[in-house]
Structure 1
Amino acid sequence: MRAQQAATTLVAVGVTGWAARRVLTRRAARNSPAAEQSHWRFVTVNVAPEQVRPFPQPLRELDAEIVVRPAPGGRGTEIGVRLNEGEPTGAKAAAQRFAGTDPRQAVRKALRDAKQLLETGEILSPDRPGTNTKTLTGKPLELAIAHAKGEGKQ
């Protein structure tokens, strides 16, 4: 019985130490100058680099730095965008994301729309559900469609 209690205590101390290190590491990362910078987000388009300029309207609306470079292996062009202001973190970021006002969502949407404009000449939109009747169970689907272009891996 005592061995089991000792093992449980060791596990609890180990998990507590791990959690404390994780919190301190994240806090230090948030307070560092690098935390104020935005991440680059890229999209590959199937056009030559010369065809990307002037930038499509969705990219011109952003307050961001934009780079254009040939994609590896001669497979089109990469367009990269990084916000000029820092990205939100913590509770502020969660609230903005939920409200649909997160600047990262605007970058993702602009990149997707620019890709569609460059490759097809128009911005495509998903089909709406087949019914016009608003239902409680259809609300999650409506929200998912409304926020789909602003979401992504990063």
Structure 2
Amino acid sequence: MATSSLLSRISEVASSAGGALLGRAQSLRLPGVGTASAKDSPEVAARRWRAVTVLTDRIGTGPDLPAPLAAFGDRIEVRTTPAPAGKGTELAARFTAPADATDERVGKLREALRQAKQLIETGEVLRIEPQPEGRRPETPQGRVLEGAAARAPKEGVL
């Protein structure tokens, strides 16, 4: 009985320590490596490529660049590469100067990438606000969703 209790306690302590270690490892980041982060300095944020995968093999990066990205002019550089496993093309963009990579402009660049993807794939920019069938119902859940959508960062979806 004592051995079983001791092994059970050792298992609990090991699980707790492993969970704490995993939690720390998940929040560990190297500057400029990995996914976008609100903690990045403007210099790192400017160097970071933002990308979307577009279900097509042809995307123009010159004069036929999609309008949402063309609006940035020479403040961004654009590249296209084949997407993994032949699943289309990866369209990526980043700012050419660190001064351009303010939080607001980074959000606008992410939005422009999403709009360019929609234009290329469907021929139009899809709207979700308000919902296509009308306004959200005035319920507590609807108000919470509206508030969350209004405060959502521009770096991505809620």
Q: What is the TM-score of this pair, normalised by structure 1?
A: 0.53
What CA deviation, in whole Å up to 9, does each residue of 1:46-98 have, x standing for no partner? 3623x34343343354976531134578775431245787xxxxxxxxxx9xx
Question: Does 1:116 pair with 2:126?
Answer: no
1:117 CA displacement: 2.1
Instruction: State the percentage of identical aligned residues.
Output: 30
Separation (CA, whole Å) in 1 of partners of 2:142 and 2:49: 34
Separation (CA, whole Å) in 1 of partners of 2:23 and 2:86: 43
Give the letter aligned to residue 124 of structure 1: L
Q: Please identify which structure carries the higher helix content.
A: 1
Question: Which residue number in structure 1 is paired with residue 134 of structure 2?
Answer: 130
Select which of 35, 41, 44 maps to 2:54: 44
Structure 2 unmatched runs, 5+: 34-39
8 Å Cα contact 1:42-1:81 kept in structure 2: no
Q: CA RMSD in A?
A: 4.4
8 Å Cα contact 1:43-1:111 kept in structure 2: no
Structure 1 unmatched runs, 5+: 86-95
What CA deviation, in whole Å up to 9, does each residue of 1:95-137 have, x standing for no partner? x9xxxx7x5x655533221012234443121344435864434
Question: Which residue number in structure 2 is paired with residue 139 of structure 1?
Answer: 143
